[in-house]
Amino acid sequence: MKRKGLKIAKWTLGILFGGVLLISILLFAFKDKIIETTIAEINKNLEVPMEVGDVEFAFWSTFPNISVDLLDVEIKSKNTSISLLKSKKFNLRFNPFDLLMGDYNLKQINVSDGELNLYVDSSGRDNYNIVKSSEDNEDSEFKLELQAVTLKSMRVSYLNEITHQEYKSNFESVRLTGELSADEFEMLTSGQILLHSAKSSGVTLVKNQEIDFSLNLNVDQKKSITRLPMAQIQIGGLPFNIDGKFDKDSLKFNISSNSIQLTDAVEKFSIDRDNHLKNLSGKGILDFNLSIEGGTKSTDPIDVACAFSVKDGEIIEPTENIRLKNIQIDGHYTKRDSTLEELILSEVRFDSETGPFTGRLSVIDFENPKLKGFAKGTINLNAAHRIFHLPEFDQVNGKLKVYCDFEANQKSNNELQLKRCSGDVTIVNSNFKLKNDKREFQEVNGNLKFTTRDLKVNRFSLKVDESDIRLDGAFSNVFNYLYNDEKLAIDLA
């Protein structure tokens, strides 16, 4: 009985091995035809042809699927010299039995080591709508039965000349899985993206943030609707809630903070992050709500509204025991088609060992900014540098007593028009060293009073290396001299 079982097992294994061997022989016999048809069918579906440097064919390494690796792939753009897609490996996977029957049912796409550049020019022409409609390709042998799409080590950028939006990122690993060709399906979307920068009208809003996500999307291809139920993503290692929906005409997403500590937000979201921000302690919660809504066409405007606030916060920098207490921040950012883009900080307030500080700032129209600001208080320069990392300085200390109230417009030719300005700044026992400058500025003291036109200097003194400098007097027409190439009048003692 035992011998009979072994005999049956041997025959079974032999038949299986022989079948697999036969399939392998047939597939490799038709390898050239499979490769030629694959490339031809891809280009039959594209308005811009895919250029392929070389092709590799594999079965055993990707069993039970057939793998066609298109190497050094490039798809050029329709309206710019920058390529739409470049990839060192564009991998396609098929069912071997389908191929033997002459059916090119594509199961999986894996794109790696390359770049994807999405672009919309000032006339509204995009470079990425290159797939022909199904009506134009009724005779195509290609059929999509996709179950997975993967992007790995791909640089992805988006630039829209109409909406003035620019994004640069690296898709470290992004994977879409599900019955992706069905009329209705659930799609699992997961991965890691490094967002290098997000800019609006040339202003950097987000820089160098890791995004980790695992989301289940409900897709209805008949109605062209995709829904994202409430889920959680990680931005810079911090939790955010996200939900939304988009269809063929519109999109709407909401992102909100999920009990984010103020100290974590300062560490993670500083534009110029560095190790100096590590190990902050304190209290307070960042309240953050972002909504994104608009049309799906490349020329459609996208409305963005973001509100953020901090109530009763506290930050402690442990190295020098610097404390900012009673932190109150309230502000919003909006970009709508019907109104000018604006960033409003209606309240910035805190207490420190030097006393209270209060301020506010508004920037309206990022292309031709209208600026309004007010600041009053005494700032510990060392504390400011330790917590907020003033990028112009290697090191700085001392105190800065500030009163400033201003309003200005920046025109399209970068000319700055000062509409209103008054201020009083007192520097007390400051020492500093600038970036890329060997000199050290020591014992800086003095008072500066300024208006729209004039700057008065009272008892200003400093030491630079072994030189002592002392100034008293006035500069007239300072602002127009600095920004508008007019003459400067000097009266110094």
Show the 3-state SS of the chain: CHHHHHHHHHHHHHHHHHHHHHHHHHHHHCHHHHHHHHHHHHHHCECCCEECCEEEEECHHHCCCEEEEEEEEEECCCCCCCCCEEEEEEEEEECHHHHHCCCEEEEEEEEEEEEEEEEECCCCCECCCCECCHHHHCCCCEEEEEEEEEEEEEEEEEEECCCCEEEEEEEEEEEEECCCCCCEEEEEEEEEEEEEEEEECCEEEEEEEEEEEEEEEEEECCCCEEEEEEEEEEECCEEEEEEEEEECCEEEEEEEECCEEHHHHHHHHCCCCCHHHCCCEEECEEEEEEEEEEECCCCCCEEEEEEEEEEEEEEEECCCCEEEEEEEEEEEEEECCCCCCEEEEEEEEEEECCEEEEEEEEEECCCCCEEEEEEEEEEEHHHHHHHHCCCCEEEEEEEEEEEEEEEEEECCCCCEEEEEEEEEEEEEEEEEEECCCCCCEEEEEEEEEEECCCEEEEEEEEEECCEEEEEEEEEECHHHHHHHCCCCEEEEC
Q: What is the mean pLDDT of residues 305-320?
A: 88
pLDDT at 30: 46
Q: Residue 396, Cβ neighbours under 10 Å: how many? A: 20
pLDDT tens-digit readout, 25-72: 444 444 566 677 777 888 888 888 899 998 887 755 555 667 888 999
pLDDT tens-digit readout, 426-447: 999 999 888 888 888 899 999 9
Query: What band does 136 get if pLDDT is binned at 50, 70 and 90?
Result: low
- What does the angle CA 376 – CA 379 – CA 382 come to, to the nearest 5 degrees? 165
Q: Would the pLDDT of 18 be above 50?
A: no
pLDDT tens-digit readout, 187-223: 999 999 999 998 887 778 788 899 999 999 999 988 9
Q: Which amino acid would we find at residue 30?
A: F
pLDDT tens-digit readout, 461-490: 989 877 888 888 887 877 677 666 677 677
Pick from 1-15, 77-91, 345-359 the range whose average pLDDT is largest: 345-359
- What does the angle CA 375 – CA 316 – CA 400 come to, to the nearest 5 degrees? 30
319/52: higher pLDDT: 52
286/340: higher pLDDT: 286
pLDDT at 350: 93
Query: What band does 411 get if pLDDT is binned at 50, 70 and 90?
Result: confident
Positive or negative torsion for Cα 67, 68, 73, 78: negative
- Kindly list the distances between the CA atom of residue 160 and the CA atoms of 129, 234, 423, in Å, as whole numbers in the listed order: 14, 26, 40
Task: Please state the pTM of the whole predicted model.
Answer: 0.79
Which value, to the nearest 10 degrees, does the dihedral of the CA atoms of residues 412, 415, 420, 422 take?
140
pLDDT at 333: 93
Q: What is the mean pLDDT of residues 401-414?
A: 85
Compute the residue count for the chain.
493
Q: What is the mean pLDDT of residues 375-395?
A: 84
Q: Is 234 exposed, middle or buried (0-12, 13-18, 19+ CB in 10 A)?
A: middle
Q: Which amino acid would we find at residue 316?
A: I
Q: Is 381 exposed, middle or buried (0-12, 13-18, 19+ CB in 10 A)?
A: buried
pLDDT tens-digit readout, 70-121: 999 999 987 778 899 999 999 988 776 665 566 667 788 899 999 999 998 8
pLDDT at 25: 46
Beta-bridge partner residues of 175: 150, 190
pLDDT > 70 in the chain, percent: 83
Q: What is the mean pLDDT of residues 369-391?
A: 86
243/471: higher pLDDT: 243
